[in-house]
Structure 1
């Protein structure tokens, strides 16, 4: 299933590959979703989901990368080592 990432939830980490905790969006049926980065990485690995994001008017696939410290994280296929495109997406609205 392809899902568009329209928001993220950040934490206060100084390491860019650790700053995103959750990604979220709205599915094809209009249902809001939000999942942890760990869950997204697992879903990508098993072929459950493919994620993409529109940044600057252009679509980019979200991919799993591995930091120099060996940690898996999410970034777009257009980013270098840092997940600049994902970090530029707005914060997810607070849950009610």
Structure 2
């Protein structure tokens, strides 16, 4: 299933693998969703989900990357080490 990421929840860390904690968006039925980065990485790894995002009108795929310290994290296929495209997205609304 393809999902579009339109928001994130981030931490104060400067380490690439710790900067983003959750991704979220709205599915085709208009239902708001949010996943931890760990859940999203697992879903990508087993082929359950594919994620895209729009940054400045340009579509990008999310990919699983491995930091220089060996930790897995999410970034777009256009980013270098830091997930700058994802970090440019707005903050997801808090859980209810």
TM range (shorter): over 0.9
Displacement, 1:15?
1.3
Q: CA deviation at 1:93?
A: 1.0
Is the partner of 1:68 in helix, strand or coil? coil
SS at the partner of 1:61? strand
Match of 2:58 in 1: 58
Q: Is the 8 A contact 2:6 2:24 kept in 1?
A: yes
Partners of 1:51 and 1:95 in 2: CA distance: 21
For structure 2, list consecutive stretches of 5 or more residues without a partner in the other structure.
none
Give the corresponding residue for 2:14: 14
Query: 1: CA distance between counterparts of 2:43 and 2:57?
Result: 26
What is the RMSD computed on CA atoms of the aligned residues? 0.7
